Structure 1
Amino acid sequence: MATVELLFSALPEHVRTARLVAAAVARRAGVDEAVLDEVRLAVGEACSRAVGLHNSQGISSPVRVVLIEDEKKFSIEVADDAPRPAAVAAALARAAAGSAKGSGPGGVAEDIGVDSDDDMGLAVISGLVDDVEVTADESGGLIRMSWPTASTTALP
C-alpha cells in the first residue's frame, strides 16, 4: 500500500494543486482514465469545502489530503479542523448519503442551520463518487472517497 500525504494552507489557490496531485497519483494507482475527471472534480470540491470552513472559522492549520493506493482501490481523504456539533455532523453524513434530497425545500441545511453551500458541496461529491463517507465531530471533518483500480475492473 502506497500513501501520499499533502498538507496545504487554507487558500483557494492551493486547491488546484491538490486536484493535480490527486489525478496524477490516481492515474499511477490504476484508476480508469475515464474516471480521472471525476477524481479531480471531487477532490476540488472537497478541498474547496475544507478551505472555506477553515477560512470562515479562522482556523490556521493546514488542510490535509491523504491519497491511498492499495491492490483493489484508490482512496482519498480530505480532512479539515473545523469543529461541528453532533447534530450538524449527523446531518452532513445524511446529506452525503443522499437522504437530504427529500427533507424539505431547504434540505438539511435549513433544518439545522448549516450553510447551504456545505449541503450543495456534499451533493456534488456524492454525485461524482459512488463510495463516499463523511464524518465530522468537534475536532473536524473528514471526507473519504474511493474508486476501483484497474486490477479490480479488468476482465479476466
Structure 2
Amino acid sequence: MATVELRFSAQPEHVRTARLVAAAVARRAGVEEAVLDEVRLAVGEACSRAVGLHRGSGVNDPVRVVLTEEEKVFSIEVGDGVPATADGSAGDAGASGAGAGVDTEGEDEMGLAVIRGLVDDVEVIPGEAGGVIRMSWPASGISDHA
C-alpha cells in the first residue's frame, strides 16, 4: 500500500495543486484514464469545501489530503479541522459545520451533491477534530513503484 499525504494552508490557490497531485497519483495507481477528470473534480470540490469551512470558521489548521493506493482501490480522504457541532446538525449538512452566522450551508450541500454525483463510493464523516470526506475508485494496481 502506497500513501501520499498533502497538507496545505486554507487558501483557494492551493486547491489546484491538490487536484493535480490527486490526478497524478490516481494515474499511477491504475485508475482508468476516463475517470481521472472525475477524480480531479471531486478532489477540487472536497478541497474547496474544506478551505471554505476553515476560512468561515477561523480555523488555522492545514487542510489534509491523503491519497492511498491499494491493490484494487484508490482512495482519497480530504480532512478539515472544523469540529462538528455538539447537536450533530453539522453532520447532517456535511462532514463538519461552519461557525454560526456564516452562510456556507447551501454551498456546503451543493459541493457535497457534486461530489456524490461524481463518486460512487463516498463517505462523509463528522468528527470532534474535524470532518473527513472519503472517496474511492477502482484501480488496476499496475503502478511501477517498488
TM-score (norm 1): 0.81
What is the RMSD of the two structures over their aligned residues, measured on CA atoms? 1.7
1:91 maps to a residue whose letter is: D
Q: Percent identity?
A: 70
What is aligned with 1:16?
A: 16
SS at match of 1:6: strand
Q: Tell me whether 1:27 sits opposite 2:27 in the alignment.
A: yes
Find the structure with the greater CA-based Rg. 1
Can you give the 5+ residue segments of structure 1 that lack an aligned partner in the other structure?
95-112, 152-156
Can you give the 5+ residue segments of structure 2 that lack an aligned partner in the other structure?
96-102, 142-146
Whether the 8 Å CA contact 2:84–2:91 is kept in 1: the answer is no
- Per-residue deviation, 1:29: 0.2
For the residues of structure 1 that align with 2:54 and 2:64, how far apart are their CA atoms? Answer: 12
- Per-residue deviation, 1:22: 0.1
SS at match of 2:51: helix
What is aligned with 2:136?
A: 146
2:26 maps to a residue whose letter is: A
The structure carrying a bigger helix percent of its residues is 1
- Per-residue deviation, 1:115: 1.0
What is aligned with 2:92?
A: 91
Whether the 8 Å CA contact 1:5–1:64 is kept in 2: the answer is yes
What is aligned with 2:108?
A: 118
SS at match of 2:42: helix
What is aligned with 1:60?
A: 60
Count of matched residue positions in the alignment of Structure 1 and Structure 2: 133
1:136 maps to a residue whose letter is: P
Q: Can you list the C-alpha shifts for 1:79-138, whole angstroms capped at 9, x where unaligned? A: 0001121422431369xxxxxxxxxxxxxxxxxx97111111100000000000001123
TM-score (norm 2): 0.86
Whether the 8 Å CA contact 1:73–1:148 is kept in 2: the answer is yes
